[in-house]
Amino acid sequence: MEFHVLGPVELLHGDRKVPITRAKTRHALGVLLLAQGRPVSAETMMEALWDDRPDHVRKDLQSYLSRLRRTLRLAHCTARVRSHEGSYLLEAPDDEIDYDRSTALLDRGRQARQRGHLDEAADLLRDAIELWHGLPVQGLNTLWMELRREDLDFQLASCWQARIEVDLLRHNYSEALNMVNKVIPDHEFDKAFIGQKLAALNGCGRYSEFDSYWQRIRLSGIKAFGTEPDSELQDLHIRLLQERDGYHLSHSPVTAGGNPLPTPAQLPPQSADFVGRDELDALDEALGRTRANRPTAMPVLAVVGGVATGKTTLAVEWAHDNRRRFPDGQLFADLRGFDRHPPARAFDVLADFLVALGLAQDQLPDTTERRTSLFRSVVDGRQVLIVLDNARDTDQVRPLLPGSSSCVVVVTSRHRLPDLVSRHAARRVTLGALPRPAAAGLLRESMEVDRLARESTALSTVVDLCGGGCRVCCASWRTRWSTDLT
């Protein structure tokens, strides 16, 4: 004889299902089965079976229990429903009840795991899980039952967690990941499942998914609860990164020797003849809008425009003006996206960044993907500005993006970088040719006073010929002072 309560309530005699026609009779059996041999008061039985009790509720309860006794007797079942001092209990062998069997298998599986018998533990825990076939006491939806299901769900989750832990210990990461993916949609913020998914992704070598999942968990927690993941999960995250790449990173910004991490200051010098206050204001506004609309997002500012429109000059000027916002450092890289030399590789740029942030060359991972992970971990929570100049496209930039909202990235490019805008919510500031007065002023700043007086007419002609793109002209002019302006 078998009693099923971890799903639809059923009574099986061999392969034959014993009919229990009345729903309330089935539900009463389910409530008694969940008690695991303990007495259940009449008051609890009524609360479990009815949210709105009928007028003759005690009489109805007794009627359903009488039907249940008759069903058990006709099925030649050894189980009996006993009454004692206003309570009811079901006497049945533990091995006939799926709930009791699952509980026993969970205990035995945990014991086997403690003894180091991982294969045995995996089999026992698998059997414990397979006894569950849906909502316990299916069809009974009273408030009492909903609350009881929360406890039962915790037990099922414990079975899954124990089973997944065993596969992680056996380095069976793929199977562990498959299992955790089955259950985690119903346990989005369960710390144990989150940790197990991180460990499984890491063990499978799926590092990009590992990083994106961690960021999603961080942002979901901030949105739902207003806090970062707790210290235990953060410790696990760092430990998994250490295991992955063989480096050691502490929580505070110090090197392995205990010295403070250096504060990189890689910005090029500001231009002496900068013009473009409106564009600086536009960058300030773009950053402010990102902070206001998505405070947990990592701000990306894209300065785009044609040749000689002052993209680098503007980015560097803005970076210097705002460097106090980034006390943990300012990083700069020329990506050579439109240079006569080959474009800079993210692999090499990340090496420069990580060394500038205090890591030794022998601590650097051997793939771009792993260096990206390490870079994001090192700058996580730190106020760092990253300026990526002369980018070819979004693919060149993406591995260099940190994941922390405490960082800000400024990218310059001749292209409009639509993927950076759509996928990373970059705020775009577009530069055109300088207005004629500003262009003329820039040329004047580059000329000696006596020549300015002699060639004022020629200056106006040059502005017209350059179409406002005077920065290249100025750079050329400074190297050839003896040449006529026109």
For the segment 176-203, what is each residue's pLDDT rounded down to a tens digit? Answer: 999 999 999 999 889 999 999 999 999 9
Within a domain: 240: yes
- Residue 322 falls within a domain, yes or no? yes
Give dist(CA 226, CA 441) in Å, integer.
50
Q: Which domain holds residue 314?
A: 277-431
Residue 354 pLDDT: 93
Any domain includes 483:
no
Establish if 177 belongs to a structural domain: yes
Residue 395, phi then psi, degrees to nearest 5: -60, -35
pLDDT at 483: 53
pLDDT digits (tens, 9 = 90+) for 307-350: 888 899 999 999 999 988 888 899 999 999 998 889 999 999 99
- 163 and 107 in a common domain: yes
DSSP state letters, 175-241: HHHHHHHHHGGG-TT-HHHHHHHHHHHHHHT-HHHHHHHHHHHHHHHHHHHSSPPPHHHHHHHHHHH
Same domain, 396 and 332: yes
**Count of the separate structural domains present in the chain:** 4
Same domain, yes or no: 91 and 107: no
- The reply to whether 128 and 93 lie within a common domain is no
Residue 261 lies in a domain: no
What is the structure's pLDDT at 249? 42
User: Same structural domain for residues 156 and 203?
Assistant: yes
Domain CATH code at residue 382: 3.40.50.300
* Residue 412 included in any domain: yes
Question: So what's the pLDDT on residue 350?
Answer: 97
Whether the predicted model's global pTM rises above the 0.75 cut: no
- Phi and psi for 269 in degrees, rounded to 5? -65, 155
- Indicate if 426 and 459 belong to the same structural domain: no
Handedness of CA 20, 24, 28, 33 (dihedral sign): positive
3-state secondary structure (DSSP) of residue 304: strand
The reported pLDDT for the residue numbered 254 is 42
Same-domain check for residues 462 and 447: yes
Q: Does residue 162 fall inside a structural domain?
A: yes
Residue 463 sits in the same domain as residue 385: no
65: CATH: 1.10.10.10
pLDDT along the chain (486 residues), means of 10: 93 89 94 93 95 92 95 90 91 91 94 92 96 92 93 92 94 94 91 94 89 87 80 84 57 43 88 76 88 80 91 94 88 94 95 92 90 89 92 96 91 95 92 68 57 58 59 54 52
235 and 179 in a common domain: yes
Q: Is residue 257 part of a domain?
A: no
Q: 456-466 and 470-478 helices cross at what angle (nearest 10)? A: 130
